[in-house]
Structure 1
């Protein structure tokens, strides 16, 4: 279960069979029951090409008991340690005929509780009443993301494409990206992808009429300076 060397070298790792069919069905059922009457919620984004829920673990907290099963907790502990907590989560539902695609980028911002002047925190934005900021690189380098796949994800329904080892070079412009080491990250239903925020990643349009639902969860173990707090901070372990 230890994929630490691969995550450090490539910037990502894929592990299948983290969830049983029943666990995935429970998570999907909780999401569907919670969202059927809530489409006007400010954390929801709905279009023909994408349905997304920001602050997912706060909007549908009852999913956490199924998401953080014994397998996932062991994976996190063995690869990263026991002191990590949730800092952000988003649910993505890419419908069967989606033309949604995302160009290559790094995940450079974190969600915080307020806007304040802090050294080396820059590029402040506000999205749906949520402050976001780009922290110093060392914070981003120490964080990680887990993507939980509720459907089989392939190159034909928008699986992530990544540039291996691009996380090791810090923050840089996409214009300077070299595409030779591209990997398409196909993941089975019930599998996960672990990745570093600075890894360049993208996704294509759906071409095979197959739905793609993913829960994206970001983690950190760091204290922020000068009164800044992680606005979505949630401890998931006992």
Structure 2
């Protein structure tokens, strides 16, 4: 998805970025990149032409800045303001932004694109996913255990400059990095322009 020249420019831009941030779309260069990614996803038939970029999170994992992520689904979305409704739960604030867990019908419409600035192999904490798990809605801990027992997790190495598209409801996890390289990822989230219940994208 990215040319060598583009990767070089991103490397320079990310030099001033925090190691982990959920609010990258506040930066002009990231908004421009999100539009380029959006057009590629439209051309690939993965999203509709009216879809918008609603969030970009930056992850940088290395042996010096390392963590383990247990098997989970991404259930929260960034919104502008709090709306009281029985279908909305799990309100939280992260990095100064407001998040909520909407109904499954909303989450099923979303698409995430993990854009890899560096090559990401097994030793770099590449994602492991349970194929097809996004088709089963929101899963509780017992559901997750059954899904894990019923299907082998698949490791998803990604080449430098490539992207990995996934549904947020897909069960995914990542191990700690064991190699000496960096794993930098820009995790974009795309969704329909309008939300139900009076919600607005942040």
TM-score by length of 2: 0.90
Query: What is the alpha-carbon distance in structure 1 between the residues aligned to residue 38 and residue 97 of structure 2?
Result: 28
Contact between 2:53 and 2:190, CA under 8 Å: does it hold in 1? yes
**1:66 positional shift:** 4.4
**1:27 positional shift:** 1.1
Report 1:27-106 matches (<5 A).
Answer: 27-32=10-15, 34-35=16-17, 44=18, 51-58=19-26, 60-66=27-33, 68-69=35-36, 73-77=39-43, 78-106=45-73
Does residue 210 (structure 1) correspond to residue 176 (structure 2)? The answer is no
The corresponding residue for 1:141 is 108
Correspondent of 1:186 among 141, 153, 157: 157
Contact between 1:27 and 1:63, CA under 8 Å: does it hold in 2? no
**1:227 positional shift:** 3.1
Q: Structure 1 residues 63 and 116, CA, compared in 2 at 3 Å: closer, same or farther?
A: closer
CA RMSD of aligned residues (A): 1.8
For structure 1, the residue ranges without an aligned partner over 5 or more in a row are: 1-17, 36-43, 45-50, 232-238
Q: Structure 1 residues 208 and 63, CA, compared in 2 at 3 Å: closer, same or farther?
A: same
Correspondent of 1:131 among 98, 106, 116: 98
TM-score by length of 1: 0.77
**1:222 positional shift:** 4.4
Report 1:160-179 matches (<5 A).
Answer: 160-177=127-144, 178-179=147-148
- Give structure 1 regions of 4+ aligned residues with deviation exceeding 4 angstroms: none
Contact between 2:24 and 2:30, CA under 8 Å: does it hold in 1? no
